Structure 1
Amino acid sequence: MTAPFAPQSAVTVRVFSQRLSATPRGARLGRHLAVNQLHSWGIPHGTDVSDAVASIVAELAANAVTHGRVPGRDFELRLSIAAGSVRVEVTDSRSGPPFPLTGPGGVRPTHPLDEHGRGLLLVAALADRWEILGREPSPGKTVRAEVDLPGWFPPDPSLPRTAEAGQ
């Protein structure tokens, strides 16, 4: 006779994925889609997590459009939420890191008067974890960042959403 399984809490995994044109308009749309998707998942606009993810998506999408663009190729935005964090992944079609790997944490140091080069410093500051992954099949890369959701639990989908109904 075997012991019964201990009850386990359900893990809700939510995923959003969208291919976007590698243009400034596509990058802006990616940020708007990310914020709206988080809101639909129960992470309201204007919260620390929503603002952090919006900034991370804006930076990674802008990098994909500016540095990772290959003519005729899109980039992909993917959001997922599970196990207490929001994961942001932006995949573009150009291989290689988006910056020289010379500074602490792999981020290139910038001069105070430089007009560019601080975006990944922002990602590093806002994300709890981030990394660059090569894409198989090549060419391409994915930049992944995660923002923790301390004390956040996904809403139970079986319960009515009274807050949105104005009650």
Structure 2
Amino acid sequence: MDPARLVVAELAANAALHGRVPGRSFRLTLSVTASGALRVEVADTRGDHLPTRARATAEVPTESGYGLLLVEELADRWGVRCGPVPCKTVWAELDLVHRR
């Protein structure tokens, strides 16, 4: 599957699962940066609940918690931007030039 689709799916799933506030949804934005990267942004209203990186060396594998490891492997850059309160935006960029 296309890496961009996996990144979009993972960030959207995380927002729906962990960033959901009853009565509110999340916003998905896709854009191309001036440097030629696909930028995926998912904003939700749980600014108090920031994503954490899963431990790749966990002794006991779990069924969940590895999504951001997948994003980290597939994206060229990713991070979290806080605000405006109560929101946060998790973003990832995939360089399109190197993926052809």
**Coarse TM-score class (shorter-chain normalised):** 0.7 to 0.9
1:146 aligns with 2:99: no
Tell me how far 1:151 sits from its aligned partner: 6.1
- Is residue 64–residue 91 contact of structure 1 (8 Å, CA) maintained in 2? yes
* Runs of 4+ that moved beyond 6 A: none
Who wins on radius of gyration, i.e. which is larger? 1
Change (3 A) 1:151 1:55: closer
| AA partner of residue 130 (structure 1) | W
Stretches of structure 1 lacking an aligned partner (at least 5 in a row): 1-45, 100-106, 153-167
How many pairs does the alignment contain?
95
Tell me how far 1:149 sits from its aligned partner: 1.2
Separation in 1 of the partners of 2:98 and 2:76?
15
Q: Which has the higher contact order (CA 8 A, sep 6+)?
A: 2
> Greater strand share, 1 or 2?
2
The equivalent residue for 1:108 is 54
The equivalent residue for 1:69 is 20
What is the TM-score when the length of structure 2 is the normalising length?
A: 0.87
| AA partner of residue 36 (structure 2) | G
1:52 aligns with 2:3: yes
User: Cα deviations across residues 124-152 of structure 1 (Å, max 9, x unaligned)?
Assistant: 0000000001021x012100100001268
| AA partner of residue 89 (structure 2) | T
Separation in 1 of the partners of 2:15 and 2:6?
14
Separation in 2 of the partners of 1:56 and 1:151?
17
Separation in 1 of the partners of 2:41 and 2:14?
12
CA RMSD of aligned residues (A): 1.7
Separation in 1 of the partners of 2:92 and 2:8?
9
Separation in 1 of the partners of 2:66 and 2:95?
22
Stretches of structure 2 lacking an aligned partner (at least 5 in a row): none
- Counterpart of 1:115 in 2: which secondary structure? coil
What is the TM-score when the length of structure 1 is the normalising length?
A: 0.53
The equivalent residue for 2:45 is 93
- Counterpart of 1:62 in 2: which secondary structure? helix
Same amino acid, percent of matched pairs: 51
1:130 aligns with 2:82: no
